[in-house]
Amino acid sequence: MEGEGGLPNEGAAEPALQLGTVLTQLDQSEAEQQATAVETILHVSHEDPTRCLPTVPKLRSLLGSCDSRTNANIARCLEIMAKKAPNDVAPSVPAIVSFLTDSPSLETTTTLLECLEAVAEERPAIVADELEEVDIAVIAERVDGTTETPEQSTDALATVTERVHTLRQD
């Protein structure tokens, strides 16, 4: 039997995803409903990210409009799905770059850079087209000593930047 928001009750063998319920919760104006839906997606994406791919458009539309915890969970969902299905997350690159350059939130920087890195492995052109030099400089400034894992953020940014520069030279 399932619990609130499509999450399984304790002891269930596999996370449940009631896609219709989760998508409806993401559409709600109540932050609590959205947060519950994002937590459900995050939980299920750890087991099988492909089951959550239909939520990518909703997640990208919410990125930046939620509280910091929910934004961090959205970023983690996108990263997990990008590593499994980068082509499905590729349309989210503009929203991710916008969030990274405009948002005051530092919690999600490494996660979203790793998401961009995963997309760039399959679709470097979309990342290069969206990521301008000014964006790289803004993100680099934010990464430099401001995140909990600066080495990881710096490595992810360096990888994305290298792919962008290589693509632009070709």
Closest CA to 117 of 56, 74, 164: 164
pLDDT beyond 90 at 51: yes
Q: Comparing 26-35, 42-51, 72-81, 149-158, which segment has the lowest mean pLDDT?
A: 149-158
Distance CA 86, CA 154 (A): 21
Q: Is the pTM of this model over 0.85?
A: no
Indicate the burial class of 135 (C-beta count within 10 angstroms; 0-12, 13-18, 19 or more).
middle
- The answer to whether the Cα torsion of 154, 155, 156, 157 is positive or negative is positive
Residue 70 has a pLDDT of 95
Check residue 2 and report its DSSP letter: B
Residue 124 has a pLDDT of 86
Tokens of 25: 């919760």
Amino acid letter for position 144: D
Q: Comparing 3-7, 48-52, 119-123, which segment has the lowest mean pLDDT?
A: 3-7
Collapse the DSSP code of 48 into the 3-class scheme (helix H, G, I; strand E, B; otherwise coil) and give the result: coil
Residue 19 has a pLDDT of 87
Check residue 9 and report its DSSP letter: P
Residue 4 has a pLDDT of 42
Radius of gyration of the chain (CA): 16
Tokens of 167: 């693509």
Arch. (CATH architecture) of 4-169: Alpha Horseshoe (1.25)
**Residue that wins the pLDDT comparison between 158 and 121:** 121
